[in-house]
Structure 1
């Protein structure tokens, strides 16, 4: 069966960042809405499939102010998780894929067989474009404390409060809030690498995320303060990676972990640039020491 159309949207100018393209947090807010619509259309729920284990996002193309968008969603029983829901965000004008999200669930084998029967009409093959590329689908370790993370080399990079506009119908902070915190935090983390604000400005480069894996450890509710701690995790030829930990600020209860793969982009050509050897070595020297 064809995928369900779960979102019709538009890029507003106020959603675009210093690179003049849609900021990552607003991709996530659209995936949040598509997920709500998909659940409404199909009857999928946490009671049926369990709590989502991870959301794995890939950013395929830039979106600009004025772009109209359409989202389709379906279940992929051949996906990387026991139960996989795939969301594909496209530009309306040319149908190009702008971003994909893979929502992973881990029901028992017995429940998975029942889900296959129950959601047969919502199923379609797993698209190659949405498959995780640089980040694994293995479960994350969610027992790290703030003290342990700080000892490993992470630093505080953002503080925020869950406001009514950040919460979904259940009163919990949505992915868009978490990634908004991480988007703001990332600039502070980049300044811990050789690619500081001054370095980027001198070369007319911009900061770009290309892949994310978000895992919630516990909910954040409306009115709760949050603090983000971040650290570097690796570097390759053109990309480097880092991790954000989101805590409830009063008790330092871990709320979410997000792994990110990022790169520097030439703002004239809109192409990725290779990491210079000294940049790569500077990142590797500063990676978290777990």
Structure 2
């Protein structure tokens, strides 16, 4: 059976962190992509590795100054190639910070040993293993009802041989999240004054097409479900000119007490305020 091998080792810098005070989700996708490339190099693969689907579960926060490392192993074969599981540990506390599962285009024959087993901590919990989101176009009636969260352009520095890198696909959703929360009634300044923030528990990113430099991007989102403390979102990234769907994301998020660093419930008033924004997907 394949065993986990050390891949990425690094540190959380201040510019990796957001207003909640922990490493922003986009940099977990960066870590997973880098670990995938390092693992592939160990298999003798030269050049880029394409990953179409990435699933991340966030277990403990990483904050500025934290040191971390990833270990990687194969855990199966998907439709496009090898499935890699990465475990990201805070090395200062020796705690599991995140699990990242990458569905790659690496050829299955690169690994001759039996695959490892995906741990329970890495298995999908509040976000499905496979997307059930509709394949919308920007001009569709349903797309018109989505909440606009981002519009911008792809810069060459954000691209590799496959086009826009995972980090910067995820960044469109992450950077747009503040617009989404504001739209549904969670004003940033009021939340910070109340010492509350938002935190993602789990996320899956589906890359549906390569995205080249110069592409105009439009991101839109919907609230799919409110269950207990958890709010589930669906994100759609479109080509702003052709209207084609380029990527989707699904996430579950909660409110966070910024002092206790613990999740808190939505109030009854907040739940009532969320109801008009729910969309069935």
Query: What CA distance in whole angstroms lies between the structure 1 residues aligned with 2:164 and 2:69?
Result: 24
Which deviates further from its counterpart, 198-207 or 2-11?
Answer: 198-207
Which deviates further from its counterpart, 192-201 or 264-273?
Answer: 192-201
CA contact (8 A) 2:148 2:180 kept: no
**Residue 55 in structure 1 maps to residue 54 in structure 2:** yes
2:28 maps to 27
CA contact (8 A) 2:90 2:96 kept: yes
Count of paired positions: 279
2:139 maps to 147
Post-superposition Cα deviations, 1:185-213, rounded to whole Å, max 9, x if no partner, equal: 11111112233325413421011111111
2:232 maps to 241
| 1:272 to 1:148, Cα distance in 2 relative to 1, 3 A | same
1:206 maps to 197
Q: 1:232-271, aligned counterparts within 5 Å?
A: 232-271=223-262
Q: 1:138-287, aligned counterparts within 5 Å?
A: 138-141=130-133, 143-148=135-140, 150-151=142-143, 153-168=145-160, 170-287=161-278
| 1:103 to 1:46, Cα distance in 2 relative to 1, 3 A | farther
1:240 Cα offset (Å): 0.2
1:140 Cα offset (Å): 3.7
Q: Which has more helix, going by share of residues?
A: 1
User: What RMSD in Å do the two structures reach over aligned CA positions?
Assistant: 2.8
| 1:70 to 1:106, Cα distance in 2 relative to 1, 3 A | closer
CA contact (8 A) 1:46 1:52 kept: no
Post-superposition Cα deviations, 1:216-264, rounded to whole Å, max 9, x if no partner, equal: 1111112222111111111011110111111122212211000111111
1:9 maps to 10
Which deviates further from its counterpart, 26-35 or 147-156?
Answer: 147-156
Post-superposition Cα deviations, 1:27-64, rounded to whole Å, max 9, x if no partner, equal: 111111111112221257999xx964521111111111
| TM-score, L = length of structure 2 | 0.89
Query: What CA distance in whole angstroms lies between the structure 2 residues aligned with 1:34 and 1:106?
Result: 15
Query: What CA distance in whole angstroms lies between the structure 1 residues aligned with 2:46 and 2:180?
Result: 36
| TM-score, L = length of structure 1 | 0.86
SS state of the match for residue 133, structure 1? coil
Q: Which has more strand, going by share of residues?
A: 2
CA contact (8 A) 2:32 2:102 kept: no
CA contact (8 A) 1:3 1:123 kept: no
Query: What CA distance in whole angstroms lies between the structure 2 residues aligned with 1:134 and 1:99?
Result: 15
| 1:30 to 1:105, Cα distance in 2 relative to 1, 3 A | closer
